[in-house]
Amino acid sequence: MDHQHHQTDGASDVHTDVSYNDGEVRIQLEDVDGNVPKLEETHEEEMHLIIVSNDLEDYIHLHPEREEDGIYTVPVELEEGHYQAFVDISPEDMAYQVAPNPVQVGTNETGKANLSNEDNWTKEIEGKTVTLEDVEAKADEEVPLVFDMHGENPEPHMGALGHVVIVDEDGEEYIHVHPDSDDTTSFQTHFPEPGMYKIWAEFKFDDDVNTYPFIIEVNE
């Protein structure tokens, strides 16, 4: 299993363009020469699309389908406001770094997030409780993220027992990590800069995917 994470730093050979109209997101891909890149499947999908509102309150994980070469679409209803869309793909034989694609829906503006430390590291959703164990996060160091399932056994979800997406307070840095092994809910990640970050941890119980949000401060 690939446990590596994708971030927004570095050069990219593939350009992404994301637009929204009438309840549908459209993604266009092309490489630096204007050609259509070929995508490898990662965790059972050619494309993972993460959409977050500018204030980081809303989080949506979608799997657009190829409509034609270089064009992917997916239906979703978005409230008016400003969003950042992250196109998570693995083009064959090309460098690619995930970058935020701004998406404006309607005329309402959505302010930037102002994250603050939280004391509640235990979250319950649909009767399933998950705890993020205490962590000392420092920039440029490997940081373990260990989730306690409180006796529950999550089901495999896109080839793993969980998925973790992390975005910084400014909505610019994107990190996506997978568990350390096939039978664990612990993850290793790396934060490029100090600051405040929001974590969304996805776990599947009883055929439903629950998304648990946490806020973490990364120190120098």
**What mean pLDDT comes out for the span 1-28?**
80
| CA pair distance 181, 1, nearest whole angstrom | 7
The pLDDT of residue 44: 85
Residue 169: is its pLDDT beyond 50?
A: yes
The pLDDT of residue 118: 80
Residue 5: is its pLDDT beyond 60?
A: no
Torsion sign, CA atoms 153, 154, 156, 159? negative
Q: pLDDT, tens digit, for every residue of 30-57?
A: 999 999 999 999 888 999 999 999 999 9
Q: In this structure, what token pair is assigned to residue 25?
A: 């997101």
| CA pair distance 207, 92, nearest whole angstrom | 32
Task: State the DSSP H helix or E strand holding residue 76, giving kind and residue range, or none if neither.
Answer: none
Structural domains of the chain sorted by starting position, each given as residue range(s) with its CATH number in brackets:
14-105 (2.60.40.10), 122-218 (2.60.40.1220)
Question: Considering only CA atoms, which of 161, 158, 211 is closest in space to residue 185?
Answer: 161
The pTM (predicted TM-score) of the whole model is 0.93
| CA pair distance 80, 116, nearest whole angstrom | 25
Q: pLDDT, tens digit, for every residue of 79-119?
A: 999 999 999 999 999 999 999 999 999 999 999 999 998 87
| CA pair distance 52, 60, nearest whole angstrom | 6
Count CB neighbours of 177 within 10 A: 24
